[in-house]
Chains A and B, each alone.
Chain A
């Protein structure tokens, strides 16, 4: 019977050999990634101005000041892509909830109000949330052109002391 010591030795060898292989593959692969990546946390996170995965083809970003100016225009629609529970707690007044994780389920319900000609501001929870980015991409695929990505969304809105609303928001038929 294999001894525990032998098992452990083999495990370590396995681990190290796999690591060498993995690093080699990563080095030659066109899809390889740097050994140390940019993954901000804490104070670095606070300095983030755009989502980590942001590309030039993505919807334009707005900061909280620009968002508050858009907020004052009644024809602009604010889209909250957080989970319904979080939305119901508090959200930007008159915002519509389109949870990113149930996008396909909710989109038909809101697409009557949230139409492609409207100017739309998309936001989610905060600086470590990329749901607004991905939701914007999904909307762009559906032909939405007038999108504004409010990165830092809810967190920034609250920090700025902006008005909030509770409950389910606009009744969706």
Chain B
């Protein structure tokens, strides 16, 4: 049995992480869904993606964020939604990192030597890194053998949940 964290407590912790990451992603997606043209412009400002793909990403990504965030909170297809969120975060961090190094101002898409622009980029990076760690924990812990009900060598594991009713429908 896991000595560090008793199952009910671990369940609450994981639920907290899921809520945090899920809410952030859902909230972030809303404006982009309503204004895909503005979001496309933001993607363009990053100067990474070829022009032909920008609109597709602007159309697709916000819904991925919304649904993955929602599934994460509800515990539906938990590992899959967590995996997608992790992938999205990696892509975001790489994109921000590239532009912090290049010195591109993410707001206007122009080159600048201003430390403010770098600081803003670094702040975004840290935020995404924090989310990444939170969701990584969810990904690694959901459905792991730490939370077996019985200490026997059974294959079946209890998915993490604070109460049986909520359950993660893995």
Binds A, one of B2-10, B18-26, B110-118: B110-118
Q: Measured between alpha carbons, how far is A126 from B63 in the docked complex, in Å?
A: 33
- Give chain B residues whose Cβ lies under 8 Å from the Cβ of A124: 108, 110
Q: CB < 8 Å: which of A39, A86, A129 contacts B113?
A: A86
Known contacts A86-B114, A101-B107; is-contact A1 B155 (Cβ 8 Å): yes
Smallest CB–CB gap between A28 and chain B, Å? 12
- Give chain A residues whose Cβ lies under 8 Å from the Cβ of B60: 18-19, 22-23
Contact check, A129 vs B108: say whether CB atoms are below 8 A apart. yes
- Give chain A residues whose Cβ lies under 8 Å from the Cβ of B157: 1
Q: Is A100 an interface residue (CB 8 A)?
A: yes
- Give chain B residues whose Cβ lies under 8 Å from the Cβ of A19: 60
Known contacts A18-B67, A40-B51, A125-B110; is-contact A85 B37 (Cβ 8 Å): no
Contact check, A85 vs B108: say whether CB atoms are below 8 A apart. no
Residue on B nearest A4 in the bound complex, by CB: B79
Q: CB < 8 Å: which of B55, B115, B116, B143 contacts A1?
A: B143
Contact check, B110 vs A128: say whether CB atoms are below 8 A apart. yes
Q: CB < 8 Å: which of B41, B58, B64 contacts A18?
A: B64
Q: Is B17 an interface residue (CB 8 A)?
A: no
Give chain B's interface secondary structure class.
Answer: helix
Q: Is B68 an interface residue (CB 8 A)?
A: yes
- Give chain A residues whose Cβ lies under 8 Å from the Cβ of B81: 14
Smallest CB–CB gap between B105 and chain A, Å? 7
Known contacts A8-B83, A124-B110; is-contact A26 B51 (Cβ 8 Å): no
- Give chain A residues whose Cβ lies under 8 Å from the Cβ of B137: none
Known contacts A2-B79, A37-B55; is-contact A131 B110 (Cβ 8 Å): yes
Q: Measured between alpha carbons, how far is A125 from B111 in the docked complex, in Å?
A: 7
Q: Measured between alpha carbons, how far is A36 from B161 in the docked complex, in Å?
A: 44
Q: Measured between alpha carbons, how far is A31 from B35 in the docked complex, in Å?
A: 7
Q: How many residues of B contact A (CB 8 A)?
A: 47
Smallest CB–CB gap between B39 and chain A, Å? 9
- Give chain A residues whose Cβ lies under 8 Å from the Cβ of B13: none
Contact check, B110 vs A126: say whether CB atoms are below 8 A apart. yes
Contact check, A26 vs B59: say whether CB atoms are below 8 A apart. yes
Smallest CB–CB gap between B25 and chain A, Å? 13
Q: Is A112 an interface residue (CB 8 A)?
A: no
- Interface members, chain A 70-129 (any B CB < 8 Å): 82-86, 89, 100-101, 124-126, 128-129
18 of the cross-chain contacts (CB-CB < 8 Å) are A2-B79, A2-B143, A7-B79, A23-B60, A33-B36, A35-B55, A37-B51, A39-B40, A39-B51, A40-B51, A41-B50, A41-B51, A83-B105, A83-B112, A85-B113, A125-B111, A128-B109, A128-B110
* Further 14 A-B residue pairs, CB within 8 A, beyond A22-B60, A134-B108: A1-B157, A1-B170, A19-B60, A31-B34, A36-B55, A41-B51, A52-B41, A52-B44, A83-B112, A85-B113, A86-B112, A86-B113, A128-B109, A130-B109
